[in-house]
Chains A and B, each alone.
Chain A
Amino acid sequence: MEIRILGPGCPRCGEVEKRTINALAELNVSADVQKVTDLKQIAEYKIIGTPGLVINGKIKSSGRIPSLQEIKNWIQKEL
């Protein structure tokens, strides 16, 4: 599974990363998690608001911090 966290490095993006890693740990799923901080690359994902969360190339959320439960649901859907 490929997870990308989009954001230029503000604390809100850090929170999304933390929750994603917690969600993966709770579900006992391994994934390739990377942060995307370059603005041009972020724009390539066709989102506007950051932080953004992309799982397997699908945009799951943008411009807000999703809850742990939401992230867990998305991961399970992509398994």
Chain B
Amino acid sequence: MKDKWIFVLFALVFLAAYFIPFNQLRIQNSIAEAFLLLQEYARQHVLLCLIPAFFIAGAISVFIRQGAVIKYFGAQAKKIISYSIASVSGAILAVCSCTVLPIFAGIYTRGAGIGPATAFLYSGPAINILAIILTAKVLGYRLGFARALGAIIFSVVIGLIMHSLFNREDEKTRNKSGLADVEETKDPRPMWKTILYFAVMIGILVFINWGKSDSALKIWYFIYQAKWFIGAFLSIALVWMIMTWFKKEELKEWILSTWIFAKQILPLLFAGVLVAGFLLGRPGQEGLIPSQWVAKIVGGNSLGSTLFASVAGALMYFATLTEIPILEGLLGAGMGQGPALALLLAGPALSLPNMLVIRSIIGTKKTLVYILLVVIMATVSGLIYGAIVT
């Protein structure tokens, strides 16, 4: 860091220390809320949910060969296949949000063109495995599922619209040299072993987080009571697989990848939780921002509040996963379910900084159309979801 920036930082800390009225009850409350929310995350979400999710994300980046997926993004690939793969492959390819933009640039300039590229750009951040797991755990299964489904369906719609608007002018300038074939090393395991290994890891995550449900629903309640047995059984199976199917080198790579993700994401999430707690408080409590304001602007499922949530989400920058505590705070303060989904869809897909990067790749006109489409689609999904839920 340059000295100039360190000085600016010092000045900001000084001004904050000088001017913030810490003796006011509201500020004191908000600070307490920030740490109480952090504690809630630490107690409820870290050990059983975040840590297993990081291991799964690490495993995806080490054990799943991307080449197999990427060849469907080539210029020669069938259009239906490119779109379907583009809309769902974020789950595998976008484990870390910083990989979305290079892949987008690659698909656009060298591969299947603007349609699949924008489809990937829209769905990638929403269906990356960490985001889905944490959304479902913190905000509930319904919203987690709606987020994934909304992202997948509407990414195809956006891609098709972008394709029909711009493909003709792109065709003239596009470089058709295609993508390079990278000689990939052969998979050291048969496919079924890899699949089983992932299934067991996801199974562990799902079962140990199984929520308590109405005891009238016999099967769900039975699973709830047996969740530790199922979790322990699956863990033993996982340990056996790790010991017999994998080489020591591979396991080292797995741990390293997991650690890289954790190192990259956890500090930002930690900061995000503190900020969300400070501004909005835990669900049912109030932070710095009065709940009535939130309820007034994004409460209910009206067109106005849903549209506001999409536009705000499109402009705001969310570091990976921080959209979740912020949304938890907003929901607790009275935000409607529809606007919540709209924010979840528009938020991670767009932000001011990444608009600038997208513009440098596809130009101003296409970027503006893309932003407009994202806002419209997020609003529409929010309205539909809001109408279904209420």
Binding site for B on A (CB under 8 A): 6-12, 15, 39-40, 42-43, 45-50, 59-65, 67, 70
Q: How far is the CA of A6 from the CA of B106 in the complex (A)?
A: 12
Complex: chain A residue closest to B185, CB-CB: A70
B191 interface contact, C-beta 8 A: no
Query: Which of B66, B105, B357 lies in contact with A43, CB distance below 8 A?
Result: B105
Q: How far is the CA of A64 from the CA of B107 in the complex (A)?
A: 18
The secondary structure that dominates the B interface is helix
Q: How far is the CA of A74 from the CA of B179 in the complex (A)?
A: 21
Given A39-B360, A43-B106, A65-B253, CB of A49 within 8 Å of CB of B180: no
Query: Which of B61, B106, B177 lies in contact with A64, CB distance below 8 A?
Result: B61
- 26 pairs across A/B with beta carbons < 8 Å? A11-B260, A11-B263, A11-B264, A12-B61, A40-B109, A42-B102, A42-B105, A43-B105, A43-B108, A43-B109, A46-B110, A46-B177, A47-B106, A47-B179, A48-B70, A48-B103, A48-B111, A50-B99, A50-B103, A59-B180, A60-B182, A61-B182, A62-B66, A64-B62, A65-B62, A67-B249
Interface bits B84-102 vs A (CB < 8 Å: 1, else 0): 0000000001001011011
Q: Which of B67, B73, B109, B182 has the most chain A CB atoms closer than 10 A to its own CB?
A: B182
Query: Which of B102, B105, B106, B361 lies in contact with A7, CB distance below 8 A?
Result: B102
**Chain B: interface size category:** 35 or more
B178 interface contact, C-beta 8 A: yes
B155 interface contact, C-beta 8 A: no
Q: Taking the nearest CB of chain B, how far is it from the CB of A37, in angstroms?
A: 10
Q: Taking the nearest CB of chain A, how far is it from the CB of B87, in angstroms?
A: 16
In the complex the two chains form, is A47's CB within 8 Å of B182's CB? yes
Q: Taking the nearest CB of chain A, how far is it from the CB of B189, in angstroms?
A: 16
Q: How far is the CA of A47 from the CA of B103 in the complex (A)?
A: 8
In the complex the two chains form, is B106's CB within 8 Å of A8's CB? no
Q: How far is the CA of A63 from the CA of B94 in the complex (A)?
A: 11
Q: How far is the CA of A41 from the CA of B257 in the complex (A)?
A: 26
In the complex the two chains form, is B101's CB within 8 Å of A8's CB? yes
In the complex the two chains form, is A39's CB within 8 Å of B110's CB? no
In the complex the two chains form, is A39's CB within 8 Å of B179's CB? no
Binding site for A on B (CB under 8 A): 61-62, 65-67, 70, 73, 93, 96, 98-99, 101-103, 105-111, 177-180, 182, 185, 249, 253, 256-257, 260, 263-264, 357, 360-361
Work out how many contacts link A and B, with CB atoms closer than 8 A.
Answer: 93
Residues on B with beta carbons closer than 8 Å to the beta carbon of A8: 98, 101-102
Q: Taking the nearest CB of chain B, how far is it from the CB of A17, in angstroms?
A: 13
Residues on A with beta carbons closer than 8 Å to the beta carbon of B107: 48
Complex: chain B residue closest to A54, CB-CB: B180
Given A8-B98, A10-B99, CB of A45 within 8 Å of CB of B66: no
Q: How far is the CA of A59 from the CA of B106 in the complex (A)?
A: 15
Complex: chain B residue closest to A60, CB-CB: B182
Q: How far is the CA of A45 from the CA of B181 in the complex (A)?
A: 11
Q: Taking the nearest CB of chain B, how far is it from the CB of A15, in angstroms?
A: 6
Given A43-B106, A62-B182, CB of A48 within 8 Å of CB of B260: no
Residues on B with beta carbons closer than 8 Å to the beta carbon of A6: 102
Residues on A with beta carbons closer than 8 Å to the beta carbon of B105: 39-40, 42-43
Residues on B with beta carbons closer than 8 Å to the beta carbon of A70: 185
Residues on B with beta carbons closer than 8 Å to the beta carbon of A11: 260, 263-264
Query: Which of A7, A12, A39, A59 lies in contact with B357, CB distance below 8 A?
Result: A39
Contacts beyond the supplied A11-B264, A48-B70, A64-B61: 7 A-B pairs with Cβ under 8 Å: A39-B361, A43-B109, A48-B66, A48-B106, A49-B103, A59-B180, A65-B256
Residues on B with beta carbons closer than 8 Å to the beta carbon of A61: 182
Q: Taking the nearest CB of chain B, how far is it from the CB of A49, in angstroms?
A: 5
Complex: chain A residue closest to B103, CB-CB: A48
Query: Which of B93, B106, B111, B182 lies in contact with A42, CB distance below 8 A?
Result: B106
